[in-house]
């Protein structure tokens, strides 16, 4: 199997929510660039299948580690495994997340844990590792989503956490400066995944109508993340929006 070559050769990346959808696409693109990649999620069978398929295609190391990023103990174990197996971490992609309509308090807490607390915990552990390693530093990329800018109807829990991710990104970018840690955010508009499959049949719009929306291939998102990750630590994409050109976001619809 041919070895992947590119800007990531010899570097280590961790992608949360890396077993399916956008996370899997990002993991595959990074592996193709030569990164050794660790993917995490809550379903062992899905993770192992993704790791086997991606590693088989690229010839590079893809490791699956089961982790609920909302659980502090599991996140600590995840980063201990990364440190033991790879010594360092060059790139963290905080991608894991959950999206459901307005929900009871118990489910609200679960969404906050998956979308926001998990990103914070992973960022905290990444900082500790990146500050101590030689050479020092690294990069963190957060999946903010279009909902970090503009809400959809009936999306309060998801939108609230994604707006908070923007604050986390900016704080991380600021606090990371003195440690050579860069942090940016990618806001994604309608990548074609299982989660967005309903877009083609119609989703509720702000004016109360139901309308179909266009989607874009995951590969475009993955390529954007690879670009962000390819920059030297002296440069940073703080925010990037990648969206279907005709999706109803800009202006009044």
Q: Give the pLDDT score at 5.
A: 52
Inter-CA distances, 152 with 74, 96, 200, 202, 249, Å: 32, 20, 16, 13, 10
Inter-CA distances, 67 with 37, 114, 127, Å: 15, 11, 19
Q: In what order do the strands lie in the sheet with 36-41?
A: 62-66, 36-41, 12-16, 91-94, 138-143, 181-189, 239-243
Sign, CA torsion 204/251/247/231: negative
Question: Domain-by-domain residue ranges, the chain?
Answer: 12-242
Residue corresponding to tokens 């580690």: 65
Give me the catalytic one of 152, 158, 183, 190: 158
Q: Which CATH class is domain 12-242?
A: alpha beta
Query: Who contacts 81 (Cβ-Cβ below 8 Å, separation ≥6)?
Result: 38, 65
The answer to whether 149 touches 164, Cβ cutoff 8 Å, is no
The answer to whether 71 touches 93, Cβ cutoff 8 Å, is no
Name beta bridge partners: 189: 243
SS3 labels along 51-90: HHHHHHHHCCCEEEEECCCCCHHHHHHHHHHHHHHHCCCC
Q: Give the pLDDT score at 102.
A: 66
Residue corresponding to tokens 């999706």: 247
Is 227 in the active site?
no
The answer to whether 231 touches 200, Cβ cutoff 8 Å, is no
Q: What is the pLDDT along the chain (253 residues), one digit of tens a residue?
A: 334 457 778 999 999 999 999 999 999 999 999 999 999 999 999 999 999 999 999 999 999 999 999 999 999 999 999 999 999 999 999 999 887 666 778 889 999 999 999 999 999 999 999 999 999 999 999 999 999 999 988 889 999 999 999 999 999 999 999 999 999 999 999 988 877 778 878 988 888 999 999 999 999 999 999 999 999 999 999 999 999 999 888 765 5
* Nearest C-alpha neighbor of 168 from the set 183, 190, 149: 183
Q: Give the pLDDT score at 131.
A: 98
In the chain, where do the E strands start and end? 12-16, 36-41, 62-66, 91-94, 138-143, 181-189, 203-204, 210-211, 239-243
Q: Give the pLDDT score at 2.
A: 39
Name beta bridge partners: 11: none
Name beta bridge partners: 182: 139
Stated pTM of the model: 0.93
Sign, CA torsion 190/191/194/195: negative
């Amino acid at each position: 199997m041919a070895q992947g070559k590119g800007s990531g050769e010899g570097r280590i990346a961790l992608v949360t929510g890396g077993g399916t959808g956008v996370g899997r696409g990002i993991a595959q693109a990074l592996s193709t660039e030569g990164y050794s990649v660790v993917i995490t999620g809550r379903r062992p069978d899905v993770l192992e299948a993704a790791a086997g398929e991606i590693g088989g295609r690229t010839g590079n190391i893809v490791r699956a580690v089961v982790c609920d990023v909302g659980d502090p103990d599991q996140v600590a174990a995840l980063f201990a495994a990364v440190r033991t197996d790879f010594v360092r971490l060059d790139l963290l992609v905080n991608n894991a997340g959950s999206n459901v309509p307005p929900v009871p308090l118990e489910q609200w807490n679960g969404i906050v844990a998956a979308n926001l607390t998990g990103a914070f915990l992973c960022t905290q552990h990444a900082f500790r590792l990146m500050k101590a390693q030689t050479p020092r530093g690294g990069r963190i990329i957060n999946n903010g989503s279009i909902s970090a800018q503009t809400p959809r109807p009936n999306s309060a829990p998801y939108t609230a956490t994604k707006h908070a991710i923007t604050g986390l990104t900016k704080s991380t970018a600021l606090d990371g400066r003195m440690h050579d840690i860069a942090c940016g955010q990618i806001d994604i508009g309608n990548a074609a995944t299982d989660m967005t499959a309903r877009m083609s049949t119609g989703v509720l719009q702000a004016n109360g109508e139901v309308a179909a929306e266009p989607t874009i291939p995951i590969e475009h998102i993955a390529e954007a993340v690879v670009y962000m990750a390819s920059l030297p630590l002296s440069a940073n994409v703080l925010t990037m929006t990648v969206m279907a050109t005709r999706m109803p976001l800009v202006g009044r619809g």
